Structure 1
Amino acid sequence: MGVTWAQPRQNSVEALCYGINQFDGVEFDLRLTTDGELVLHHDNTTKDDNYVELLSSDEMKPFADKFDELLARKDFTTPWQEQGKTVCIELKSPHPSSGVGGGWKGGSKRVEYISSMIKMVDDAIAEFELPEGTTVLYSFDKKFLPAVKTAGWSHPKARLMPTLREWGSGNLQRAIAAPSFIAHSLPRLMRKHQKWGAPMIPCTLDYLHGINRHLTLGTSVALTGKGLEKLTKARKGFPAFVWPVRVHHEKLILDAGLTPLTDDASPEITHLPDGSPRLTRPASEPLFDGQHVPWHEMTNDSRKEFLSAQRNRWQWSRSVDQLMAATSENQIPWEVPRIICHRGAGKTTF
């Protein structure tokens, strides 16, 4: 019998190195410690209920790895640099009660705080000379876009919407975000992101699946039927990265031409619920002429043929020539659907 896979802690170096090699890319969260270190941590408090931004990097060692430790791993940076893998970085704002970043007032101090984080990320990854289409930075914070402008961030950015606050329970956060969710249909959010110059839109599955998708004002879209036709027509290839996703929704999202952020990273999941093989690298190792070929090993003619077929299937607005101009052996156009592993190797409670 084989060894049962042990899921690594979310946002850990181990999880992220696993995810970027087994999938098309990874998503992770960054917070800033009191001594100015970026750490890989999602929640605003540690397991012993201390605010992350009030702890030093040494005090955070039992709970989180450092961003620098991740960047020191070749098995993470090489796929990112050379194999067309995608890295989505979410910046986390401090809890208002910590008093950091302007506390409950926010304002210019919040912009300064987030801007400092952005500059630190930019400086940390500069040495890797990453291809343009491999990295995106985003945040729920309303001050994020002004902070991006202040920091002079050199890579693509996007906004997480509707805004989820750093305070309150999950249910309270969703309740507060409900008016914004209702006021913004997914097509409207896409237009906003295009105006901001974002290469994609990160969006919750609620916009596309289940009863909540009918609550938004404007065009209601879906993953199947007439709703999918409306979505395909509205987005014209503009990419949507959808979260949270479990394995039973992956194929549905990929077949809609979208990118799922999956929480199911186990190598033991080799088939989907319908019995079909699970494809974990549809972008970085696509199925071409009946074989899985790593993107960085494909010829330009093969990439062009692959992109042309995808463009026709999902009615992308960019021409094949424009897509090829955004293509190289280590860069995949944003339009291509991929599977991103959420928090490295999926969400965990430890």
Structure 2
Amino acid sequence: MNKGGEDWIRPRENTVEALVYGMKECDGVELDLRLSEDDRLVLHHDSKTEFGDYPECLTLDELPDYVEPIEDLLAKKDFIKRWTDEGAFTCFELKSPHPSSGKAGGWFNGNEREKHMMKMIEILNEALEPIDFPNSSSVIYSFEPKIISASKKVNSKLKFSRLRPHIRSWGSWHSQRIIAAPSFLLNSLPRLMEKQRIEKSPMLPCSLQYLTGIESNISLGRSVGLQGKKLERLTKLRKGYPVYVWPAKSDSERMLLDAGLTGLTDDLSPNTVTLKSGHARWTKPATQPLDEEQRRELDQTPIEQHQSRIREMKRDVSPWHELSDSERINFISNWKKKWLWEREMDSLIKEISSCSLPWETPRLIGHRGTGKSHRNGSS
């Protein structure tokens, strides 16, 4: 990858600093939430803190300083403006406590896990109530299978989805994948999409493995991918159904976006200006979209000029919220045709405005803000 010379230190994952930066630099962010002992939603991914404690067993005051409450993020005007006024997207992932924490029923009580999810949804719903964000600009999801049943029992305007296949929220990365392997084998990506549609989920979050890994070839059902016939099959089967893919690596990011999929990236360094594919990197395909001529011009830019050309285009290309109605409709019409979106134009047009884009729109999302940056051995 071509690297620029700007000094940049990536903020710690899932911090207010990382999420504000990520929201500014791409089309939105994904963040993880846990419920503290005193019922505060806090920004934290791992099942334990770096000091070995379960976040669910500590009050906000007892948690390490790097663990921040969601209210601190929602108080940031720059974050909220991108979300409510400029078409950016927010993915909220609700994390279940480790069974050994004794919270949410421990190892066996599924009803308590559902109640735990309900409480998280209720608190999140209350925190977001004053914010006037578009209906198509956020989703709440979880690996917890009870997320959908819990959401139906809570009166909320929010949209919910389930992360599939179910990967337990503790243990090493390798042990998690070994245990989840049968689910990968039994469910191709088309099968997962069908399950999500049946549950009326607005989108499917999934692993890149379904499109490029061995799972894309050996899972039961029709195989799909990011190139050739597999891509054609994916586009026809998907019909615009939103698929959010992690990780969007440097060698796959452009292919994901060209396929009409949303990518979650772990690299938002301003110095990453050239992808491994050789393409100049554009981090706002939705909220500052390029038309065909602009895209072609950027693609034809020599690698040594990528940084300066990207800087110029960021300054000159109109963001989504500054486009005219006709320009926005033209983008949507072209995307619908290119990726075979199933919905009629009338329905899509009703969903777009200066501050919102259709669910089908492919985006680049900052995973945990600016990318995964810290692990303590647990998930």
Pairwise same-fold verdict (TM > 0.5) = yes
How many equivalent pairs are there? 350
The amino acid of 2:61's aligned partner reads D
Please give the per-residue CA displacement for 1:156-212, whole angstroms capped at 9, x wherever unaligned: 111101101123222121111111111111111111111212111101001000222
Residue 344 (structure 1) aligns with: 369
Deviation at 1:61, TM superposition (A): 3.5
Q: Is the 8 A contact 2:85 2:354 kept in 1?
A: yes
Look up the match of 1:320: 345
User: Which of 197, 212, 232 is the aligned partner of 2:200?
Assistant: 197
Contact 1:96 1:166 in 2 (8 A): no
SS at match of 1:89: strand
1:292 is aligned to 2:317: yes
Partner-residue secondary structure (3-state), 2:358 = coil
- Secondary structure of 2:129's aligned partner: helix
The residue number in structure 2 matching 1:72 is 75
1:47 aligned to which of 40, 47, 50: 50
2:19 corresponds in structure 1 to 16
Q: Cα distance, 1:274 vs. partner?
A: 3.8
CA offset at residue 116 of structure 1?
A: 0.3
Matches within 5 A, 1:90-109: 90-109=93-112
Aligned CA-pair RMSD: 1.4
CA contact (8 A) 2:6 2:271 kept: no
* 1:300 partner amino acid: D
The structure 2 residue matched to 1:306, chosen from 328, 331, 342, is: 331
Match for 1:21: what amino acid? K
Is the 2:15–2:66 contact (alpha carbons within 8 Å) kept by the matching residues of 1?
no
Once the two structures are TM-superposed, the CA of residue 3 in structure 1 deviates from its matched residue by 4.7
TM-score, normalised via structure 1 length? 0.97
- Which stretch of the first structure deviates more once superposed, 41-50 or 103-112? 103-112
CA distance in 1, matches of 2:6, 2:317: 26
Match of 2:147 in 1: 144
Tell me, in whole angstroms, the C-alpha distance in 2 between the residues paired with 1:52 and 1:145.
23
Q: CA deviation at 1:235?
A: 0.5
Relative contact order higher in (CA < 8 Å, ≥ 6 apart): 2
Q: Which SS does the other structure have where 1:28 is aligned? A: strand
Kindly indicate whether the alpha-carbon contact (under 8 Å) linking 2:273 and 2:280 is maintained by their aligned counterparts in 1: yes
What's the secondary structure of 2:48's corresponding residue? coil
Separation in structure 2 between the aligned mates of residue 120 and residue 8 of structure 1, nearest angstrom = 26
Q: Quick check: 287-296 or 173-182, which moved more?
A: 287-296
Can you give the 5+ residue segments of structure 2 that lack an aligned partner in the other structure? Answer: 295-315
| Structure 1 counterpart of 2:116 | 113
Secondary structure, counterpart of 2:93 in structure 1: strand
Q: 1:174 to 1:2 in 2, by over 3 A?
A: closer
- Alignment-mate amino acid for residue 5 of structure 1: W
Q: Calculate percent identity across the aligned residue pairs.
A: 46
Matched, 1:250 2:275: no
Task: Report whether the alignment pairs 1:177 with 2:180.
Answer: yes
Q: Deviations over 1:5-64 (max 9, x none)?
A: 000000000000000010000001000110111110000001111111001111213231
Contact 1:136 1:157 in 2 (8 A): yes
Segment of structure 1 superposing worse, 143-152 or 7-16:
143-152
Structure 2 residue corresponding to 1:132, chosen from 112, 132, 135? 135
Mapped pair 1:217 → 2:242: no
Q: Which amino acid aligns with 1:198?
A: S
Distance apart, 1:293 and its partner CA: 1.8
Structure 1: unaligned runs, 5 residues or longer: none
